């Protein structure tokens, strides 16, 4: 089973070009990025393979991106339910372009963040 510490190490090593620092805060991992934005990572300690990766940008619109698999019935119409992706804001939800497995999904999400940061430069 993938732990939050596993994801912390991946962020620090594999994504060192965009990650400034990482902090374990109670049951979540906070990743601060080179553009002053942050990612909060939650991996459930009670329910196997439940996760959330939430990136809050620092743009004027307050753009957020979140990939998670907590079963929110609002998104039950998606073919990937309970997996869903908040693409830009809380209400724009779609089938995620990321793998469903925690570790692979995290790496793919971080690659997405890296690409978005590079585009904004």
The predicted-structure confidence for 30-87, as pLDDT tens digits, reads as follows 999 999 999 999 998 777 789 999 999 988 788 999 999 999 999 999 999 999 999 9
Q: What is the pTM of this model?
A: 0.95
Range of the domain at 45: 4-120
Of the candidates 53, 54, 33, 58, which has an alpha carbon nearest to the alpha carbon of residue 100? 53
Q: Which residue has the tokens 């209400």?
A: 91
Of the candidates 98, 82, 110, which has an alpha carbon nearest to the alpha carbon of residue 7? 110
pLDDT tens, 18-28?
Answer: 999 999 998 89
Residues 6+ apart with CB under 8 A from 2: 43, 102, 103, 106
Our count of domains for the chain comes to 1
Percent pLDDT > 90 in the chain is: 84
The angle subtended at Cα 20 by Cα 121 and Cα 97, nearest 5°, is 65
């Amino acid at each position: 089973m993938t732990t939050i510490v596993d994801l912390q190490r991946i962020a620090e090593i594999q994504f060192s070009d965009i990650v400034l620092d990482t902090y374990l805060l109670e049951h979540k991992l906070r990743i601060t990025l080179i553009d002053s934005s942050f990612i909060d990572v939650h991996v459930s300690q009670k329910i196997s393979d439940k996760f959330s990766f939430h990136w809050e940008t620092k743009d004027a619109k307050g753009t957020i991106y979140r990939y998670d698999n907590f079963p929110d019935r609002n998104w039950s119409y998606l073919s990937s339910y309970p997996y869903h992706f908040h693409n830009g804001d809380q209400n724009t939800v779609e089938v995620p372009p990321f793998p469903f497995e925690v570790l692979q999904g995290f790496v793919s999400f971080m690659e997405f963040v890296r690409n978005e940061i590079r585009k904004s430069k």
